[in-house]
Structure 1
Amino acid sequence: MTSRQRLAIDAWTTVDPEREAHGIRSRQMRAGPRLGKRAVDLALACPILALSSPLMLMAYILIRLTSRGPALIRQTRIGQHERPFAMFKFRTMRLDADDTALRRMNILELAGNTDPGTSDGAFKPDADPRVTKVGRLLRRFSVDELPQLFNVLSGEMSLVGPRPSLPWEVKLYTPAQRMRHACLPGMTGLWQVSGRNRLPMPQMLRLDLVYARSWSLSLDLWILCRTPGAVLFDRTVR
C-alpha cells in the first residue's frame, strides 16, 4: 500500500462524503485493474474454499443439530451499481428473528448518535436474543460468512470491498453514501480491519468511500493481510 493510501485511510474520520463521492465519479476503474482484481479473487477464493470446506461442513451439521431451519440461507443484498443479489450465509439466528431493534439502532446512527448504549461499545444489540448459541460462535470467528466465497466465485462479490448492504439500509443512505456501490461488495474491507462493530454506520460508510476512491491491488492485499488478526482478536463481534 502506498503512503498516499495510508494517509487517506488515517484521515477517514474527517472525510467529506460529498467530496469523496465526487472523486469516485471521476475515477472509473479501467478494464486492466478490473481484470487484475478478478484474477486475485479467483486465485485466492478457490484455495480458501477448499481449505475451509471441512469447517463449513462442521458448521452446517452444528446448525442443523441445534436449531430449527436451514443451515445455509440466501439474503438479498445490494451489490455493485445497486443491483440486488442473493448472498449466501450460514444461519446464525432463529427463524422468527425480528430485526426491529437493529433497524432502530442504525437509524439513530445515521442521524448522528455516537453512543451505541451497549456494554462494550459495539454498534450491535447487547446479548442479541435472536442469535443462537452456535450462531454466536460462528459470528465470533466469521465462519458464518465463508459461504460468501461462492458469491466471489460467481462475480457478485469480491474478497475485498464495501460491506454488502441490506435493501432497507440503502434507503437510509444519502446520495453521496450510495456511491459506495461503485465497487463490488466484499467479504472484508477497511471497515473490517478498522474496528468492525465498534464503528457507527456513518464512519463505516466513510471508510467504504475512501476505499472506492483509493482502490488498488496493493490496498486489497494490505486489507487481506490484516483481516485474520481482525477476525481472531476483535472481541466486539456478536
Structure 2
Amino acid sequence: MDKNAINIVYLGSEKRLFDWIWRYFDIVGALAALILSGPLFLLIALLIKLEDPAGPIIFSQPRVGKNGQIFKIYKFRSMAVDAEKRLAELKHRNEMDGRMFKIKDDPRITKTGKWLRKTSLDEFPQFWNILKGEMSFVGPRPPLVTEYDQYTAVEKQRLAVRPGCTGLWQVSGRNSLNFDEMVSLDLEYIQRRSLLLNIKIILLTFREFSNKGNGM
C-alpha cells in the first residue's frame, strides 16, 4: 500500500444510518453474551487464580479507538504479570513491522493463557467494551497507543469507525498478512460495511472459533 496515497474513507449518510442500527445489535448482543457467559467467566477466573493467585484475573490496557479516542480494553489475563516489562527484550523477535508487535510462542503466555488464546476466550471481557460503546462486535482491531503514534495519516483512517472484536482482516488470513495488508482490509471494510457483510464476518469468525476448538 502506498502510504502517501490519498485515501478518503467514505462516511456517507447511509453508512451513518447503518452504524446507528448496528449499535443496537451491539448492545443486545453484548448484554446477552455477558449474561449467558457468566458461568464460563467464573470457571476462567478460577483457572487463572489457581495458576497465579497473586495476579489479576482481568487485564486492562490503553488502546486507541474511534477517531483516536483512548480507552481501556479488557481481557482475561493470559500473560505473566511482568509481561509489559519483558516486552523490550522480545522486540527483536517481532514478526510484524514496528507499528505492530506479534510473535509466535510468546514466552510470557501462561499455561491457562495458551488455552484462552487458542479458543479466543481471553477476548470475552470485551463484551463490556462493546456495551460501553467503545467497541463493536465487528470492526478494525484497536492498536496500542505506541503503535498508533507511528501511523501515517492514511493508516489512522482505519479508526474512522468503532474498533471491533473481529473484522475483515481477522477472517482473511490474520497472522499470515502483513501490516499494510491489514490496513488495506480495514479501509476496505469501512467503505463496504453493511449488515450483510457484518453477519458474514461474524459467521466466518464462529467457523474459525470452531476449528480452533477442534484443534484445526
TM-score, reference length from structure 1: 0.79
**Per the alignment, do residues 55 and 20 of structure 1 end up closer, same or farther by CA in structure 2, a change over 3 Å counting?**
farther
Q: Are 1:61 and 2:46 counterparts?
A: yes
Q: Are 1:224 and 2:210 counterparts?
A: no
Deviates more, 1:77-86 or 1:34-43: 34-43
Give the aligned residue type for 1:57.
L
The alpha-carbon deviation at position 26 of structure 1 amounts to 5.8
Partners of 2:48 and 2:109 lie apart in 1 by 12
Give the aligned residue type for 2:63.
R
The alpha-carbon deviation at position 27 of structure 1 amounts to 3.9
Deviates more, 1:52-61 or 1:94-103: 94-103
Partners of 1:213 and 1:160 lie apart in 2 by 14
The alpha-carbon deviation at position 150 of structure 1 amounts to 0.4
State the match for 2:155 in structure 1: 177
CA contact (8 A) 2:78 2:122 kept: yes
Which of these residues, 5, 28, 34, is aligned with residue 19 of structure 2? 34
State the match for 2:165 in structure 1: 187
**Per the alignment, do residues 161 and 213 of structure 1 end up closer, same or farther by CA in structure 2, a change over 3 Å counting?**
same
- State the aligned residue count: 210
The alpha-carbon deviation at position 30 of structure 1 amounts to 5.2
Task: Give the gaps of 5 or more residues in structure 2.
Answer: none
**Per the alignment, do residues 20 and 158 of structure 1 end up closer, same or farther by CA in structure 2, a change over 3 Å counting?**
farther
Deviates more, 1:27-36 or 1:43-52: 27-36
Partners of 1:88 and 1:201 lie apart in 2 by 23
CA contact (8 A) 1:191 1:207 kept: yes
TM-score, reference length from structure 2: 0.86
Partners of 1:181 and 1:104 lie apart in 2 by 27
RMSD of equivalent CA atoms: 2.6
State the match for 2:87 in structure 1: 99
Q: Are 1:108 and 2:106 counterparts?
A: no
